[in-house]
Structure 1
Amino acid sequence: MRTQTGLTLIELLIAVSLMAVILTTAVPALGNFLEQQRLTAAANQLVGHLNYARYEAVFRNQPVAACPSSDGLSCSGGNRWDNGWIVYLDPERKGQPDGPKDILRVVEPQTSLLMHSAGRHRVRFQGHGGAYGTNLTIRVCAPDQPDMARAVIVSNPGRVRATRDVDPAECSPS
């Protein structure tokens, strides 16, 4: 006698039903997880470039700045960092790079995010590592999920850090 192995139709239906229930709960959670990781990666990228600007200012003992830039050659004058940004040498404190030779880094736009600072149009680090002016906060938001926002904070002594402590109402551009 031969014994047959396999699944009955009822066993197969139960397995498919369980798989459907698991997938309907896991897929939305995975989407939220991926969105959180995308925001965290963008905030960490900005932190990395600002720390690089600070390092270069200390290393060269001269001002180095970072500002929003849509063309990768000059500061746009706005506060929208999602259009891209540049890190550049600013020894004469002009607020713009003198030319392509002064540009240290160019970052491409983050088209699916909203990244903005309230009023400041640049971050400038001094030769001793401190930042000019007052503290600066750059918000990193997903337009459709403001409750997941991140913020990059540059303190007056030059410390750059990222935080999740952001009011969702601050995710609208000013």
Structure 2
Amino acid sequence: MTALSVAAVLVVLAAPALRDLIGGQRLALSTQTLVGSLSYARSEAIRRSTRVTVCPSMNESTCDAGSAWNRGWIVFVDLDGDGQASEGETVLRVTGKQSDEIEIGGNSLSNVSYGPDGKARKPSGAWQFGSIYLCGTQRSKRIVLSASGRVRQEHSQCVQ
């Protein structure tokens, strides 16, 4: 009986730490997945010598309005350069819905488009840069897109 009581106390003490550990791993996985998709899009734009775009997508074939990245995203060849997946444009990669415990949003980044030179540009041709925030229950990360097209990740406070 004493051993059972000690085991119960240990479980109660360890549960919050385990929950934080799992939440941190989910945040790290979502961050790495999105960074990987952005890097893949950039390399494909250079390799194919054409515009490649990453955008939030719930149905895995068209871009969603807004910047709700946690529902999933697609990487596609953007032949017409409008930042939207249109008929005849090849979807290169699909990433599904992320954990409900993580909110993913950006400051005006409803999509990220890379030109043949690997630089991030809006459909208008202007430089594209900004941040995408990934907010977990205890921690948060920020993916920063520079005008050169490179991405980096850093610890951050949630701002959406």
Q: How would you bin the TM-score normalised by the shorter chain?
A: 0.7 to 0.9
AA aligned opposite 2:61: L
Residue 111 (structure 2) aligned to one of 103, 122, 126:
122
Higher helix share: 1
- Quick one: higher RCO (CA 8 Å, sep 6+), 1 or 2? 2
More displaced, 22-31 or 91-100? 91-100
Deviations 1:75-132 (A, max 9, x none): 1121110121111111331222232551111111225021111212110111111112
Q: 1:100 to 1:20 in 2, by over 3 A?
A: farther
Q: Does residue 15 of structure 2 align to residue 27 of structure 1?
A: yes
Cα distance between partner residues in 1 of 2:13 and 2:129: 41
Match in the other structure for 1:80: 68
Residue 131 (structure 1) aligned to one of 120, 124, 148:
120
Residue 148 (structure 1) aligned to one of 129, 139, 149:
139
Cα distance between partner residues in 2 of 1:110 and 1:154: 20
Stretches of structure 1 lacking an aligned partner (at least 5 in a row):
1-11
Report the secondary structure of 1:167's partner residue: coil
Cα distance between partner residues in 1 of 2:26 and 2:86: 34
Q: Does residue 27 of structure 2 align to residue 39 of structure 1?
A: yes
Stretches of structure 2 lacking an aligned partner (at least 5 in a row):
122-126
Q: Sequence identity, in percent?
A: 32
The alignment of Structure 1 onto Structure 2 pairs a total of residues equal to: 154
**Structure 1 stretches of 4+ moved >3 Å:** 15-18
